[in-house]
Amino acid sequence: MSIIKSFAVGNGDMYYIRHGSDNFTIIDCSLPSDREGAILAELQAQSRDRGIVRFISTHPDQDHIRGLVALDDALTLMNFYCVQNKARKTSVTLDFERYCDLRDDSDKAFYLYRDCARRWMNRASDERGSSGINILWPILGDADHDSALSDAAAALPPNNLSCIAKYSLDEGVDALWMGDLETDFMEKLQDKISLPPVDVLFAPHHGRASGKVPKQWLSQMSPGLIIIGEAPSEYLDYYSGYDIITQNSAGDLLFDCVANKVHVYASDHTYVANCLEDEDLDHSHGLYYIGTLPC
């Protein structure tokens, strides 16, 4: 059993995974001022009994590192995972400065690339089990990845630095994150890598049409559910033909992952998800049960 939570934080991304093993993973950071204290308190409470706490930064856009100073100060991030890069900004925030400090810290940083192996990220030991996280992109030395690295080092937008990360629960959910990869960049990659079947896809670039996943990858993944982020509705692509949940309407989402199914909860008590099966479960986790996704 594990829990995935996706916070509704406006134009930004922030998730955590409370693993069934002795692991806790935070993916990206976007702390709105009116929720900063509550989210940090939840992260502290949910990670307190875990031996390993890791932070995965998909890429250093401000809406994915907003509040990183506060998060690092509260949790003391000792395991900072990111794509190795030399990104610069024309306008430098305190959060980006902290990102660079963590990124360049040889004791705290671990650099992500396809098929990288790391104890307790995807390798178990006698001490604790694996978290079930594997990295599908980037491929080091790939020309398109090198181009994205060069753009970011020249202070251009770092969206295409984003890694692709998959979380798998034994006999349970497969979930995928793609950061803010842009459609035209993904189209260059689709013949270089194949993506596996997944149950839950967190749509890249907050669900924007500019980050629409190419049809070839969608066909390969055949996602059971696509989560559309909180970009303004006029910029969203609603992935016609696929079952979706929109966080603009649903609010915070929690995925209670058990064998062969995922029970889904939302913070908006009026949200209806007709695409999910109704197992008539009680509300839980401080949220409202909206249905169950078979895996």
pLDDT digits (tens, 9 = 90+) for 124-153: 999 999 999 999 999 999 999 999 999 999
Can you give the residue ranges of every domain in the chain?
2-294
The fold of 2-294 is Metallo-beta-lactamase; Chain A (3.60.15)
Q: Say if residues 27 and 17 touch (Cβ distance below 8 Å).
A: yes
What gap in Å lies between CA 102 and CA 81, rounded to an integer? 9
The answer to whether the beta carbons of residues 74 and 44 sit under 8 Å apart is: yes
- Round to whole Å and give the CA distance between 104 and 204: 26
- Hey, which residues does 126 pair with through a beta bridge? none
pLDDT score at 93: 98
The CA angle 143-149-152, to the nearest 5 degrees, is 145
pLDDT digits 0-9 by tens, 20-44: 999 999 999 999 999 999 999 999 9
Task: Identify whether the C-beta of residue 49 lies closer than 8 Å to the C-beta of residue 43.
Answer: no
Tokens of 117: 């192996």
| Pairing status of strand 52-56 against strand 23-27 | parallel
What was the pLDDT predicted at 141?
Answer: 97
Q: What is the pLDDT of residue 83?
A: 98
Phi and psi at 137, nearest 5°, equal -155, 145
Residue 113 in tokens: 């690339």
How far apart CA 254 and CA 267 sit, in angstroms, is 9
pLDDT of residue 212: 97
pLDDT for the residue 197: 98
274 burial via Cβ count (<10 Å: 0-12, 13-18, 19+): exposed
Q: Which residues of the chain have pLDDT under 50?
A: none
In the beta sheet, which residues pair with residue 174?
A: 168
**pLDDT attached to residue 168:** 98
Question: Cα-flanking dihedrals φ and ψ of residue 237, to 5°?
Answer: -110, 130
Confirm if 112 and 81 have CB atoms less than 8 A apart: yes
35 Cβ neighbours under 8 A, 6+ residues apart: 7, 9
- Residue 273 near residue 292, CB atoms below 8 Å: no
Phi and psi at 133, nearest 5°, equal: -105, 130
**Are the CB atoms for 254 and 264 separated by under 8 Å?**
yes
Among 166, 177, 137, 155, residue whose Cα is nearest residue 87: 155
pTM above 0.95, yes or no: yes
- Under a CB-based contact definition with an 8 Å cutoff, are residues 69 and 94 in contact? yes
C-alpha 257: how far from chain center: 16
**Maximum Cα interatomic distance, the chain, rounded to a whole number of Å:** 53
